[in-house]
Structure 1
Amino acid sequence: MLRHRSRSLFAAALAAPLLGAPAVAAPASAAAPAPPARVSGASPFAACTTDEFPGDAYTLDVEAEPTLAIDPANPRRRVVGWQQDRWAYGSARGMVTAVTADGGRSWRQVTPPLTLCSGGPYGRITNPWLTFGPDGRLYATAMVAGIAPLTTGVAVLTSDDGGRSWSAPVEVAADPMSGYFHDKPALTADPRRPHRAYVVWNRHNTTDQTHDLLFSRTTDGGRTWEPARSIYRPPVGDGTIGNQIVVLPDGTLLDLFHQGPFAPGGAAASARAAADGPELLRVMRSTDGGTTWSAPATIAATELGVPVLPGTATPIVGASLVPDVAVDARGRVSMVWNDARLGESRSAVALTSSSDGGRTWTTPRRVNGTPDSPPGGSGQAFTPQIDAAPDGTLAITYYDLRDDTAAAGTSATHWIATCHGRACLRGKGFRERRLGGPFDLDAAFRWFGGPYLGSYTGLAHTRHGFVSAFVMSGERAGDPQDVYVRDVTCHGGCRVR
């Protein structure tokens, strides 16, 4: 259902080309699990009219870009968040969450008070992110757009009851929309220091085409935040995307990100040729809780894959923009991203790891088990996420198109690949399991001409396995797409349930 509203408040998704070095992927499992649990439903904003603006349009009941957090002190408490009701020019009418206190047997929908439609001050949001602290405090952040005056910025909310109720948002940063665009904030609660959390993101100055990597932290549980400050400015024309902080066992902070020639202008920018590079995966270190940071070090030179619907030039929008990182209990850091150089299909999942605090990294390896194909074919895999269980087991999730045929529509499937042991560092030993699908990707919400599920999915661990939150389209008549959740248990070998 389309409703017509204002001119876009957001410029749109950033994009660019990425990286490589081939390796062998594990064979795929043919077993299909029972259907995953759907945690989204009808939009809670259907009757809202307070965000009306002539000139733009939103699509009701579109959910995208899920984020997932699990309480480390009580893994039965889990929260999934997503963008709700996407606008044609980018962003959403609000953030919606699904919360459970019984390990996913039952879910309750909650709308944090961010936008006008949920009792908050902002017009739109995008890029939601959730994280639990060691004391059970839950943090949520998003890129937000103010209405009067027109601004973009970053805001954070907190919850002390597992997401059943939320504080008012605290604005961490805001700038006039006419000159600045804030993008992709990621929030990390310090796992060993209660009340301390860190947020990082990119801010683009559209006047002089410079970008700043901005950082802020809280030491009082999110009640107040330090003034946002630039910890890195790339060369003119380059920006950062996918910034994410991990905390090593000794307290060292690492910020990992993708650096490239990102420019405003929408998701179509993801189709730019690799000649626009160079593009880099990079890391910065802080040994004093974020007060000072090292200069960026390069993990690898990259070439971003640009997944498309098979047999067409139609991009799968946002599916290859954002890398993901994880750290295990021993301090091994692993990173995944979409890579154009590791398979003939030009869209594979790459993995690299570091066992020395991010100083040196393994050769990037392809880890998805998707049968390869010619460029733009059914061998494409995209939107990878990674997490590490306490025992060191790695889990990587992604979509791929291996089930697509010549029949109408585009069959996409969501997978998890798990691995334990040193062989994982060489891209070996990963075992795949199907989490959801096949589903019809052609039925998804269209943004900049292509299907859009989001630029990341949710993945987190419990004491005994992993939980994945992801989007599937075309599953219900009259509803473009929904958010689904599935558990993977790892008692003596991971299995989907």
Structure 2
Amino acid sequence: MSANFLGSMMPLFALLWPQAAPQNVPPHETYSGPKPATPARVTQAPPGPAFFVDLPVSVQVNIDADGMNVIGDAANEPTIAIDPTNPNRVVIGWREFATIQSSFREAGVAYSRDAGRSWTNPGVLAPGTFRTDPVLAADHQGNFYYHSLYGTQLLNCDVFKSSDGGKTWAAPVEAGGGDKNWLNVDQSGGSSDGHVYTVWRRDFSCCGPNIFNRSTNGGVLFEPPVPVSQNPALGTIAVGPDGEVYVGGVVIGSWSAYRLAKSTNARDPLLTPTFSTVAVNLGGALGFFAGGPNPGGLLGQVWVVTDHSGGPTRGNVYMLCSVDPPGADPMDLHIVRSTDGGLTFGPPVRINDDPAGTNAWQWFGTLSIAPNGRLDAAWCDTRDSGQTNVSRVYYSFSTDAGQTWAPNVAITPPFDSTIGYPMQNKIGDYYHMVSDNVGASLAYSATFAGGQDIYFVRIGDFDCNGNGVSDTLDISQGASADVNGNGIPDECECVGDLNGDGVVGQSDLGLLLSCFGQPGQACGDLTGDGETDQADLGVLLASYGRVCD
């Protein structure tokens, strides 16, 4: 079977299974093209640390080549992945609108080499192609996968792969597809490690009831899609510690009917994946409201994660969603837990701790889990403003398998979710977060600068070397050096790379020597003392020849 076979069959699949017009359908992606002319660029500096006083510092991701915010564009629906072999390598994708005068969008992407403190935007993938619903994931070897719904009919998805931390991407591979697609990669460490799994909703898709497919060869080829019983939609995929695959979602048209589908044979490349599905009670209906904080989009999707820790919670399955509960409260954030591999679930737990009667919106609920089993939740919350359109991002965590949650904490300033629309009245459909044993990394959209932009925020301390100890502790306890005093362990940055090419070499030595010993000349200052002297030369020579990228 050639790599192009699946793509060539998609038009036929679409004819065999014409799209029904289901009742009470949530918003879905529609084509709006062709691409308009890009207006002349007007830029301004992005919000800096002073904007986030007394809060974790968020960093704008969708910047131009000069690190500036482009006025009049829009970016939303962020997705994030982190290289498990090197936590400094982070990639974020998003829906990129070159101008808010159009709804035409492309696959935005940027990468970081310093764990999200700064970003490089190399430009969109496949320029000129209409793309939406981006999803990123990484495998155990540090390869990144970018899943995208594309084209004029929006019935197909493909997957780009990067093996250099998001700098460059191979040509996309057809992967079935449809609206509200999701992707995940097996990192279980077993025989199925590296399998790539994708899913999408049935009612706007390529292949009728066949809504799931996989690649067992690292994204080189995706197999023909197969069904998932009861068609869970508007959700995500998780892979369990033994390679079992979970698909969480809701039944289209029955917005309180949550489902979890499980496959124990998708990990076997010789077998056709099959699923068994159970009903799940999340204590309310999945929401999409014309009068809500995201009028033209979802107010969240169904998240499923699994526990890979070595303790008694290993194998637990969790589902989270922003739900419309019974009564006057428009939206809460609920989570449920299964301790028997997804067969049964306990009662829903309310994560948001605003008093009853506040009637705030807790929307865009997002869930991730650390290797040690800690659960992290982030969401948009209107409790502080009392206004439907003004939210802050809130965060909480659980260290007892989701039974109780830490006091909720606001981690961003307020923003208006109803401005900066790119000819569609929404700010995307989701946020995305990745956890490690020290903290969590969140990609989110907000309008701090007056338009829709993508931001990265680190919740908790960094762990750049992935040793499970915060960078601050590593430095203070002498486990890591920090010659320039910037709070980043030296092993995690390219100390001595003065020209920024990722290698400490002859040109860097020349730059240092060009201002060596000259008062006030800090162009070679590697120790942070404001001078270029013998100490700086010693630091550079100690790193000479190092390749950092």
Specify the TM-score bucket, using the shorter chain as the normaliser: 0.7 to 0.9
> Given the alignment of the two structures, is residue 393 of structure 1 paired with residue 374 of structure 2, yes or no?
yes
Residue of structure 2 aligned with 1:187, choices 174, 183, 191: 183
* Alignment map for 1:39-438 (pairs within 5 Å): 39-41=61-63, 60-85=72-97, 92-116=104-128, 123-146=129-152, 150=153, 152-173=155-176, 182-191=178-187, 192=189, 193-204=192-203, 212-232=209-229, 234=230, 240-261=232-253, 277=254, 279-289=256-266, 291-300=272-281, 303-304=284-285, 306=287, 316-329=295-308, 330-341=314-325, 344-373=328-357, 377=359, 379-404=360-385, 410-422=389-401, 424-425=402-403, 428-438=404-414
Q: Give the Cα separation in 2 of the matches to 1:466 and 1:76.
A: 13
Partner amino acid, structure 2, of 1:348: D
Q: CA offsets, 1:463-488, max 9 Å, x none?
A: 42101111111x225xx111111112
SS class of match (1:184): coil
> Given the alignment of the two structures, is residue 453 of structure 1 paired with residue 427 of structure 2, yes or no?
yes
**Contact 1:305–1:348 at 8 Å: present in 2 too?**
no
Structure 1 residue 114, shift from structure 2 partner: 3.1
Partner amino acid, structure 1, of 2:92: V
Structure 1 residue 345, shift from structure 2 partner: 1.7
Residue of structure 2 aligned with 1:476, choices 449, 457, 480: 449
* Alignment map for 1:29-48 (pairs within 5 Å): 32-41=54-63
Partner amino acid, structure 2, of 1:289: A
Structure 1 residue 38, shift from structure 2 partner: 1.1
Structure 1 residue 442, shift from structure 2 partner: 3.4
Partner amino acid, structure 1, of 2:94: W
**Contact 1:186–1:243 at 8 Å: present in 2 too?**
yes
**Contact 1:130–1:141 at 8 Å: present in 2 too?**
yes
Structure 1 residue 436, shift from structure 2 partner: 1.3
Partner amino acid, structure 2, of 1:320: L
Partner amino acid, structure 2, of 1:252: E
**Contact 1:284–1:293 at 8 Å: present in 2 too?**
no
**Contact 1:280–1:302 at 8 Å: present in 2 too?**
no
**Contact 1:36–1:485 at 8 Å: present in 2 too?**
yes
> Given the alignment of the two structures, is residue 466 of structure 1 paired with residue 440 of structure 2, yes or no?
yes
Partner amino acid, structure 1, of 2:168: S
Structure 1 residue 301, shift from structure 2 partner: 6.6
Higher strand share: 1
Structure 1 residue 414, shift from structure 2 partner: 0.5
Structure 1 residue 151, shift from structure 2 partner: 5.7
- Residues 300 and 87 (structure 1 numbering): CA distance in 2 closer, same or farther, change over 3 Å? farther
SS class of match (2:414): strand
User: Structure 2, unaligned stretches of length 5 or more?
Assistant: 1-20, 28-52, 309-313, 462-467, 473-486, 488-549
Structure 1 residue 295, shift from structure 2 partner: 3.1
Q: Give the Cα separation in 2 of the matches to 1:43 and 1:83.
A: 18
Q: CA offsets, 1:429-453, max 9 Å, x none?
A: 32322221211223241666x4x22
Structure 1 residue 72, shift from structure 2 partner: 1.4
- Greater Rg, structure 1 or structure 2? 2
Q: How many residues are treated as equivalent by the alignment?
A: 404
Q: Give the Cα separation in 1 of the matches to 2:338 and 2:103.
A: 35
Structure 1 residue 74, shift from structure 2 partner: 1.3
Give the structure-1-normalised TM-score: 0.73
**Contact 2:155–2:204 at 8 Å: present in 1 too?**
no
- Residues 295 and 433 (structure 1 numbering): CA distance in 2 closer, same or farther, change over 3 Å? same
Q: Give the Cα separation in 2 of the matches to 1:250 and 1:129.
A: 23
Give the structure-2-normalised TM-score: 0.66
Structure 1 residue 307, shift from structure 2 partner: 6.6
User: Structure 1, unaligned stretches of length 5 or more?
Assistant: 1-10, 17-30, 45-58, 117-122, 175-181, 262-276
- Residues 14 and 43 (structure 1 numbering): CA distance in 2 closer, same or farther, change over 3 Å? farther
- CA-atom RMSD, angstroms? 3.4
- Residues 350 and 91 (structure 1 numbering): CA distance in 2 closer, same or farther, change over 3 Å? farther
